[in-house]
A and B are shown apart, each in its own frame.
Chain A
Amino acid sequence: RKEVEQDPGPFNVPEGATVAFNCTYSNSASQSFFWYRQDCRKEPKLLMSVYSSGNEDGRFTAQLNRASQYISLLIRDSKLSDSATYLCVVFSGGYNKLIFGAGTRLAVHP
């Protein structure tokens, strides 16, 4: 079983739609959690950190459930420019490294 698991998609949604991505992680000792965005043939870029209390950045909302070891990302009012792969990422402080999921592909169409 992979340490970080995501639905690979693709999610094909029209502009303006709300879309949600989910992710589970297996290491209960994981300390920090992130969503990264990766455009085609580009490097991953940090989208947002994820906190137990939930956090919002504009149209993006991230949530962490430590008890269930589950992370989510909600995108409201999707834009064409949101089309990308979204990577769920866990930082294990004991190992000082990021563990990436395989990513979920989002395609927003007109």
Chain B
Amino acid sequence: GAGVSQTPSNKVTEKGKYVELRCDPISGHTALYWYRQSLGQGPEFLIYFQGTGAADDSGLPNDRFFAVRPEGSVSTLKIQRTERGDSAVYLCASSLSVSTDTQYFGPGTRLTVL
């Protein structure tokens, strides 16, 4: 079946602009996670959803970052007033439920802030 998909695959923006990154999880997966991966580092947790609610957003670096999952499926990560330090690969993953530890990753969105 279809895996986790993310759009766009690449996004180049200018400092100060607003961006939205989209994640479409595997059908039937109730848990959805966002991670950020900088060059030479492993993915770092940002936020996860169980259904429509953000169960843990402790990894969001500051209030410029926000994520939603209004219908419990597709999620959007929103970054306001982008900064050069936001440049990274943003990875989305989904799992059957939060108690199921196997997470499946999407291909990521490579964000470059100029």
Partner of A43 from B31, B40, B48, B105 at Cβ < 8 Å? B105
How far is it, in angstroms, between the C-alpha of A31 and the C-alpha of B99 when the chains are bound? 11
Residues in B whose Cβ lies below 8 Å from that of A25: none
**Which positions 46-76 of chain A face chain B at CB distance < 8 Å?**
46
B40 touches A96 (CB 8 A): no
The answer to whether A97 touches B105 (Cβ under 8 A) is: no
Chain B residues with a Cβ closer than 8 Å to the other chain, count: 25
List B residues 87-112 near A (Cβ within 8 Å). Answer: 91, 93, 98-99, 101-108
Task: Given A96-B48, A97-B48, decide whether A43 and B106 contact each other with a Cβ distance below 8 A.
Answer: yes
Interface residue range, chain A: 20 to 34
Interface string of A77-101 (1 = CB under 8 A from B): 0000000000101010101111111
- The chain B residue sitting closest to A97, CB to CB, is B45
CB-based contact A42/B107 at 8 Å: yes
- Decide: B99 and A93 in contact? CB cutoff 8 A: yes
Q: Give Cα distance in the complex from A8 to B93, angstroms.
A: 24
